[in-house]
Amino acid sequence: MDLAKIESPENLVEWVNELPEKIHKPFSMVLGGRTAQRVLANAFFAIDERNGGSPPKLFALRCAVITQAVQFGLDQALILASKETQSRLIPSNSAPDEVYHYTLKIIINLGGGC
Amino acid sequence: MYSAGQIAIHTPAPTTMLMDEVRLDCKDLTAKGTLQGKELWRISRVSFPKFEEDLFILGDKFWPRWYASLNGGFPLLGSWDEHRQLLYDIALISNGEWEKGAEHIAALIAEIEAKYLPTTSAPKSTTNLDIPTGQMQTYLQVNRLSLPPTLEAVYGHLELEIHRLQGINHWETEVQQERSRDLVRRLLAMLDAVGALQAQAEALPEEPTVEDAEQTQELWQEYLDLGCAWPRENAPEIVDNAWRGGLVGVTFAGLTLCGMAATPALGVAGLLFGTKKLVEAAKATKEIAKVAFPGEGGSS
């Protein structure tokens, strides 16, 4: 898939899925983490606007720390995250080896969440 | 909102802009295999000033520093390995702890961070400021309001010693008297440099530019070059040691507010003492840091 065709998070997931197996996981982690952090920045802003300027929610910050840890390859961060967090990040029945597949889903899930 | 030579600033980022950044990430990751050290927003800078200010309300200074690190692409601690481990530790704090609220989490994070602070004073013997421009720009934005009073403290501290030295009418030897005069001249030059830094900090816009960051870097370098040009071997005979400890403390505070990591900032600030008192300087600075930066400088 041509880079120029990446116009949405869904396209990004498609692009990553076409990567060679060897780099699939590490690239997913980094791209998922960084993109999720950008989406979160916007989500923070939305929270701020909705709440009339109240301090950012600790839960949202926790999400951000987790996505950053994911970026560095910590699958365990997702596994051990709270049930509430997990439900918004990954399906609760995911096996550890499958977690990285859901890293990119953070982009989509958190984009409208938090 | 932006002009030629500056990166665009948007709040919030539209999806098209977000995907521009994603494509650049994909391109660089494919070419280089890593994005470590890359700023989060490289094509367009997205700024959330109110959010950044609100992060301070969470009862600790960790969150603003973490956010600056995230955006600036630099490690929170001395190395990426430590940064990674710190994030792991925080991400793995149990659910029950998070549910106890922001203040409780702030205390836990401070405990975790303390594990990574140096246990011995080992300042670097370099005076080169090596703060990436983007990093300094981010720190200037976050600390725009706290930087001027900190620099005012540096200014006042220098002024104090100049007045003390100028008030001494009798020195034991002519050599000491000449050294004292020489030191006053150097201190006055440092005073000018800090005054320029202070004026620049007070005039910083809400969104400091690359030029602002570069100018700040130059002014700090000038100040430190002057400080490190002291006649170190003889300075202990002339300058009050307690005052020197204070100068290291306020200089350390100013450098960290501008984005320098704590350990190198300690090393650079400690150089103002000269080698003989370096260890004492580091100890004094750490004590001051406990007050100035609760949770950052408290380990021993």
Ranges of each domain in chain A: 31-111
> Of the candidates B102, B131, B65, which has an alpha carbon nearest to the alpha carbon of residue B296?
B65
Chain B's closest residue to A22, CA to CA, is B33
Query: Encoding tokens for residue B8?
Result: 């665009």
Q: Residue B258 to residues B141, B143, B145: CA-CA distances in angstroms?
A: 9, 8, 12
Interface contact A64, partner B, CB < 8 A: yes
Alpha carbon distance B51, B41 (integer Å): 17
Q: Do A35 and B25 touch (CB under 8 A)?
A: yes
Give yes or no for a contact between B282 and B289, defined as CB atoms under 8 angstroms apart.
no
Nearest-neighbour CA in chain A from B51: distance (Å): 7
**What are the pLDDT digits (tens) for A23-71?**
877 787 788 778 777 766 666 655 555 555 455 667 667 777 877 777 7
CB contact set of A31 (below 8 Å; sequence gap of 6+): A12, A16, A104, B22, B25, B26, B29
Separation of CA B224 from chain center:
13
Give yes or no for a contact between B243 and B203, defined as CB atoms under 8 angstroms apart.
no
Chain A's closest residue to B18, CA to CA, is A38
CB contact set of B31 (below 8 Å; sequence gap of 6+): none
What mean pLDDT comes out for the span A61-89?
63
Query: Encoding tokens for residue B142?
Result: 């976050």
Q: Residue B67 to residues A31, A68, B45, B276: CA-CA distances in angstroms?
A: 18, 11, 14, 38
* Alpha carbon distance, N-terminus to C-terminus of chain B: 46
Q: What is the pLDDT of residue B47?
A: 65
Each residue's pLDDT expressed in tens, for chain B with a length of 300 residues: 223 333 444 455 666 788 899 899 999 999 988 888 888 888 876 666 666 666 766 655 688 778 777 877 777 776 677 888 888 888 888 878 888 888 888 889 989 988 876 443 333 334 567 788 888 888 888 888 888 888 888 888 888 887 787 777 777 777 777 777 777 777 777 877 888 888 888 888 988 888 888 888 888 888 877 776 665 555 556 667 677 777 777 787 888 888 877 766 766 666 665 444 444 555 555 555 555 444 443 333
> Of the candidates A104, A66, A71, which has an alpha carbon nearest to the alpha carbon of residue A86?
A66
Q: What is the pLDDT of residue B300?
A: 30
What's the Rg (C-alpha) of chain A? 14
Q: Do B88 and A77 touch (CB under 8 A)?
A: yes
Nearest-neighbour CA in chain A from B122: distance (Å): 28
Query: Encoding tokens for residue B97?
Result: 């702890």
Q: Do B12 and A45 touch (CB under 8 A)?
A: yes
- Mean residue pLDDT of chain A comes to 65
Question: b or e along B155-193 (b: 16 or more beta carbons within 10 Å of the residue's beta carbon)?
Answer: bebbeebbeebeeeeebeeeeeeebbeebbebbebbbeb
Interface contact B92, partner A, CB < 8 A: yes
> Of the candidates B18, B93, B103, which has an alpha carbon nearest to the alpha carbon of residue B63?
B103
Q: What is the pLDDT of residue A114?
A: 32
Q: What pTM was estimated for this model as a whole?
A: 0.51
Give yes or no for a contact between B223 and B194, defined as CB atoms under 8 angstroms apart.
yes
* pLDDT above 60 for A108: no
Residue of A3, A48, A69 lying closest to B23 (CB–CB) = A3
